[in-house]
Amino acid sequence: MFEDDVQSFPLIGSIQNSVGMGFLGNQAAFAIANALGSRLVHAQSQFASAHGGVSGRTTAISDVNQFRRDVDFVVRARPAILHIGFLPKPMHVDVVASALHEFKGVVLLDPVIGEYKKGLFVSEETARAIRDLLVPMAQVVTPNRFEAEVLLGSGDRTLTEHAYLNGIFDLGPQAVIITSFARDPEKHRTTSLFSNGYSYYRINGPFFPRYPAHGVGDVFAASVAAFMALGGSPFAATLLSTALASRAVANTTNYAGSSVDPIAALAKWNPLGYQVDDDRTMRFCERSNVESEMLKATADDGPRLKFAPPKNTIIYG
């Protein structure tokens, strides 16, 4: 075989935690990137045997000097998209923020800060560093609703959907995805929000409350990175990632303490090719019970941008 015959795959960078078993952190990113036709280069901020609920689990935070060398290696590899996930300490946030000054690609930040049930996963200092140093440098952010409130510095749950999205948008990102914004266990539906500053959407997908969904947030963010690396807009990537994350939950087994399973989901479902056009993506995802509806602007809540971003830029959606 000649060198010209070898296929070139998009390269994704991943900087987050790693696990010895299960689809969390870098392992979720690795599995999804390779299954969808991308490749991965990663650095680990922390290693654990499995997620926190597994008996006998061990964990170790990465030495900051080694972490700095690993992050520099990832950045020098020049991935098209750099996915940043769980960072345990302010010093790890500082390392990543410093490295981003040399990075020319797209930064997707999943600010793994906490959730309503367990509260903060990290110290307030770490959460503050993520908000102040990383959010302004990211093009795409994927907080859950709890994390969005931490980033906004507000626990006011009466804020409108536009207010949540615009508040995060004003911090610097060009596309905002707020996951788990609302859940309806009776109707088995979960709602996420999306905006690129011009278009605002409510995205509804399946919700399976009988599964613990360990790793579903990591799978979602990794999927967004992969679909964007393959040419999808942030909006198309959000729709497809909602479908893949829900399918990964539905394929949960006893493996790794009930970790979600995106590989089992992709063995039965092929989304490739649908990410290149938003309308086509919407129709395709409706088959997976993922639907989107545009949020209507009001006198008090309106778009941040007056014109739609060009289709050839990363913020198109």
Please compute the mean of the pLDDT values over residues 225-238 and round it to a whole number. 97
Domain extent for 118: 8-294
At residue 157, the pLDDT reads 82
| Separation CA 281–CA 262 (nearest Å) | 19
Could you tell me the CA-to-CA distances from 220 to 10, 63, 244, 254 in Å, in that order? 18, 27, 7, 20
Could you tell me the CA-to-CA distances from 290 to 47, 195, 272 in Å, in that order? 33, 17, 16
Please compute the mean of the pLDDT values over residues 147-158 and round it to a whole number. 91
103 within domain boundaries: yes
312 within domain boundaries: no
Whether 103 shows a pLDDT value over 90: the answer reads yes
188 within domain boundaries: yes
Whether 295 shows a pLDDT value over 80: the answer reads yes
233 within domain boundaries: yes
At residue 310, the pLDDT reads 84
At residue 309, the pLDDT reads 87
Please compute the mean of the pLDDT values over residues 285-291 and round it to a whole number. 98
Torsion of CA 287, 263, 238, 29, to 10 degrees: -170
At residue 155, the pLDDT reads 80
Please compute the mean of the pLDDT values over residues 84-96 and round it to a whole number. 98
Give the containing element (helix H, strand E) for 200: strand 200-206
CATH number, position 286: 3.40.1190.20
What is the per-residue pLDDT across 192-209, written as a single tens digit (0 to 9) for each?
Answer: 999 999 999 999 999 999
At residue 297, the pLDDT reads 87
Whether 110 shows a pLDDT value over 80: the answer reads yes
At residue 298, the pLDDT reads 84
At residue 308, the pLDDT reads 87
H helices of 58-173, where?
A: 64-76, 90-100, 124-129, 145-152, 161-169
265 within domain boundaries: yes
- Banded pLDDT at 2 (limits 50, 70, 90): low
More confident residue, 158 or 276: 276
Residue 291 amino acid letter: E
At residue 4, the pLDDT reads 60
| Separation CA 170–CA 78 (nearest Å) | 27
1 within domain boundaries: no
290 within domain boundaries: yes
Number of folded domains in the chain? Answer: 1
285 within domain boundaries: yes
At residue 5, the pLDDT reads 62
At residue 6, the pLDDT reads 62
At residue 213, the pLDDT reads 93
Question: Residue 105 corresponds to which tokens in the numbers above?
Answer: 């690609």
Helices (H) and strands (E) in the chain, counts: 10, 12
